Amino acid sequence: MEFTLSDSLSRIASSTGFAALTGGHVIMLLVSLVLFYLAIWKQFEPLLLLPIGMGCLLANLPLTGLANTVDGGLFNIFYYGVKHEILPPLIFLGVGALTDFGPMLANPYTLFLGAAAQIGVYTTLVGAVALGFNMQEASAIGIIGGADGPTSIFLAAKLAPHLLGPIAVAAYSYMSLVPLIQPPIMRFFTTKKEREVRMEQLKPISPNVKIIFPIAVTVICCLMLPGVAPLLGMFMLGNLFRESGVTQRLSETAQTHLINIVTILLALSVGSSMTAESFLTLETIKIIVLGLIAFCFATAGGVLFGKLMYIFTKGKVNPLIGSAGVSAVPMAARVSQKVGAEELKGNYLLMHAMGPNVAGVIGSAVAAGVFLSLFGDVGAAHSTAMVLTVGE
Amino acid sequence: MIVAAVKVSILAMGVIFTVLTVLIGVIQLLVKFIPYVEPPAPPARKTAPASGTGSEEEAETLAAIHVAVAHHRGESPQAIQVTNIQSH
């Protein structure tokens, strides 16, 4: 074989990533830089946006084989965790271990605020269908309004895996923008008098109730909506680790190291799904717009239901806690606290807002369960189980 | 299709409110039948009258430190005399 210098140089040049770089790649590299900017300099959800940005950057450097679609590639293997329902439920395990249901148990009617905030999910579902998405895609987009990243990823992976990248990015970007998106809506829908309501101190809850509650929720919700069992089951297991008092090591691991490791894997997988081919489409722009609408309607739904509770309780409930019904724990609760304290100094709404906030996590998981029951393959799994039973 | 989406939305909101209403009922039952009981107050600490050597508890701590230091230095506890203790 003849070996010339010019041939060798030409071969080396054509084997570099530069030769395969397209305009789409360049745009996606710029998108990853925007994510880095938001994460590092603006500190918007840095734990998520930073690894998502890096996953996006690596997936769009040609010939590295790091896009999640490349069989056998590193991120393809990580992506199995998303595709096969492993990573989002593990995140929920950690979130459960970090969650105190006390405020919600002390004032159980705040669960309704978590339900009301799901209105954003369904208005967006209608909007998505109007924009030409099918029902499965619209459901996966609508759940962005639940302001719950793992639930959005879980549902998108099941109902619309081709839209996972834009849905996850929209969900986490808007979650990080909760302190900017929510306050104007909260002020718009409430009067000064309503915002100044001081709420009564929450009554203490027996530790035994805190232990029984996650078990009861698991049984009830998983029987009513089996599709949501991986998310709610893990969420409640994490909480049981915390409340049982006998699994401190497991609780600490779930709260810290486990959730951190899984966050890295999940965020990298999501970032690596943001390839130019899948992301630079008209659908992505529609999803970004619909995601914003979902958040706005979710906030408005929670606040308006809060107003309703204000009327029914003769002014004992501050409607501002309704906005925390979108999950985004604990950021949404902090926003309720901040807006309330701005209106009336020394008005502490944080603990009251934590009730609807954790209720929002349950609410968005239940909303996902409803979508899975309607459009997922839960029915198929049931049929398979039936066939197996008959066969045995 | 939009009409179907509206129907799905109404149905789904109904299911969510139903599930959460059931949970509220469960919580109320739990709170009713397992009320919060104030934990017993910890027994008041016995305080020994002040003396030159401090309280009984302090004396025990001092003895333990004394023995540990002696062990560390490889000397007999009698060979070591604690003259001053300062807390920082």
Q: Given an 8 Å threshold on Cβ–Cβ distance, is B34 in contact with A213?
A: no
| CB contact at 8 A, A351 and A343 | no
Amino acid found at B44: A
Segment A223-279, tens digit of pLDDT: 999 988 999 999 999 999 999 999 999 999 999 999 999 999 999 998 998 888 888
CA B2 to chain centre: 55
Task: Dig out the tokens for B16 from the structure.
Answer: 């969510």
Closest chain B residue to A367, measured at CA? B16
Three-state helix/strand/coil letters over chain B: CHHHHHHHHHHHHHHHHHHHHHHHHHHHHHHHHCCCCCCCCCCCCCCCCCCCCCCHHHHHHHHHHHHHHHHHHCCCHHHCCCCCCCCC
Closest CB to A126 among B6, B16, B36: B6
In a domain, B10, yes or no: yes
Q: What pLDDT, on the 0 to 100 scale, is given for residue B81?
A: 72
Residues of A in contact with B2 (CB under 8 A): 126, 129-130
| Residue A324, domain extent | 25-197+214-379
Q: What pLDDT, on the 0 to 100 scale, is given for residue A60?
A: 93
d(CA A217, nearest CA chain B) in Å:
7
Backbone phi, then psi, for A191, in 5-degree steps? -95, 165
| Residue B5, domain extent | 1-35
Segment A238-254, tens digit of pLDDT: 999 999 999 999 999 99
Label residue B85 by pLDDT band (50, 70, 90). low
Task: Dig out the tokens for B43 from the structure.
Answer: 């027994």
In a domain, A62, yes or no: yes
Segment A86-126, tens digit of pLDDT: 999 999 999 999 999 999 999 999 999 999 999 999 999 99
Q: Is the pLDDT of residue A382 over 50?
A: no
In a domain, A70, yes or no: yes
First to last CA, chain A: 65
Please give the average per-residue pLDDT across A317-328, as a whole number. 92
Q: Is the pLDDT of residue A387 over 50?
A: no
Domain count, chain A: 1
In a domain, B41, yes or no: no
Question: What is the rounded distance in angstroms from the CA atom of residue A319 to the CA atom of residue A186?
Answer: 9
Q: Given an 8 Å threshold on Cβ–Cβ distance, is A115 in contact with B16?
A: yes
In a domain, A13, yes or no: no
Selected residues 347-386 of chain A with any CB under 8 Å from a CB in chain B: 359, 362-363, 366-367, 370-371, 374
Residue with more model confidence, A378 or A306: A306
In a domain, B46, yes or no: no
Q: What pLDDT, on the 0 to 100 scale, is given for residue A391?
A: 42
Residues of B in contact with A204 (CB under 8 A): 36
In a domain, A73, yes or no: yes
Closest CB to A129 among B5, B26, B36: B5
Please give the average per-residue pLDDT across B2-19, as a whole number. 91
Q: Return the beta strands (E) in chain A as ranges.
A: none
Q: Given an 8 Å threshold on Cβ–Cβ distance, is A111 in contact with B20?
A: yes
Q: Taking an 8 Å Cβ-Cβ cutoff, which residues of chain B contact chain A?
A: 1-2, 4-6, 8-9, 11-13, 15-17, 19-20, 22-24, 26-28, 30-31, 34-37
Label residue B86 by pLDDT band (50, 70, 90). low
Helix (H, G, I), strand (E, B) or coil at A37: helix
In a domain, A289, yes or no: yes
Q: What pLDDT, on the 0 to 100 scale, is given for residue B13?
A: 92
Backbone phi, then psi, for A62, in 5-degree steps? -60, 150
In a domain, A156, yes or no: yes
Segment B21-78, tens digit of pLDDT: 999 999 999 999 999 988 887 777 655 555 555 566 677 777 777 777 777 777 777 7
Selected residues 60-119 of chain A with any CB under 8 Å from a CB in chain B: 104-105, 108-109, 111-112, 114-115, 118-119
Label residue A386 by pLDDT band (50, 70, 90). very low
B3 and B29 belong to one structural domain: yes
In a domain, A11, yes or no: no
Label residue A327 by pLDDT band (50, 70, 90). confident
State the best of A129, A213, A293, A362 to mutate against chain B, taking most chain B CBs within 10 Å.
A129
* Of A53-67, A167-181, A189-203, A344-358, minimum mean pLDDT range: A167-181
Long-range contacts of A311-316 (CB under 8 A, 24+ apart): A315/A197, A316/A197, A316/A199, A316/A200
Segment A46-93, tens digit of pLDDT: 898 899 999 999 999 998 888 887 888 899 899 899 888 899 999 999
| CB contact at 8 A, A159 and A375 | yes
Residues of B in contact with A129 (CB under 8 A): 1-2, 4-5
Domain count, chain B: 2
Q: What pLDDT, on the 0 to 100 scale, is given for residue A222?
A: 93
How many alpha carbons lie under 13 Å from residue A66 in its C-beta half-sphere?
Answer: 17
Mean pLDDT (chain A) is 89
First to last CA, chain B: 74
ipTM: 0.84
Percent of chain A, pLDDT > 70?
Answer: 96
What pTM was estimated for this model as a whole? 0.82
